[in-house]
Amino acid sequence: MKALWKYGLMLGVVLALATSLGWTKANDNSAANKTATVNISVVTTMPDGALLQPGTYKMTFFADQKAPEVAFYKNGKLICKCPVKIESMPKPDYTRLEYTTGENDTHTLTGLAIGGWEQKLVFGKGDAENAGS
């Protein structure tokens, strides 16, 4: 009987810990941040004026801020941060970058749909006050 009580007490402690850890994780806004690998195939001008050279970048989407933004990293170094607007969309099967093409065949990133995400990230010049959805 004493062993049964001991196991019941241990089970109660484990359940209490699991519940409190789950509650903490559910209320952690940083869990909304997402990362993805993005392959850039052409020299790309970002809305903040930064240039992304062709290559592979780690992109982090910071959704938990008042004004959502993305950051692009190459070899662990921050290259740029830009405000974005968020649009809902069906999950695409692959990552799609949207550009406008300007003079001298320059490419400015205007949108980004990451394969498997339900949000499209829309970039704009000087849109920080209108970022979000």
Beta bridge partners of 31: none
- pLDDT at residue 29 greater than cutoff 60: no
* pLDDT 10s digits, 67-121: 899 999 999 999 999 999 999 999 999 999 999 998 888 899 999 999 999 999 9
CB atoms within 10 A of CB 85: 18
**Which helix (H) or strand (E) segment is 112 a member of?**
strand 107-113
Domain boundaries, the chain: 32-130
Q: What is 53-74 written as a DSSP string?
A: PSEEEEEEEE-SSSS-EEEEEE
Quick one: pLDDT at residue 125? 57
- pLDDT at residue 12 greater than cutoff 70: no
pLDDT confidence tier of residue 1, bands split at 50, 70 and 90: low
CB atoms within 10 A of CB 48: 13
* pLDDT 10s digits, 30-64: 447 899 999 999 999 998 889 999 999 999 999 86
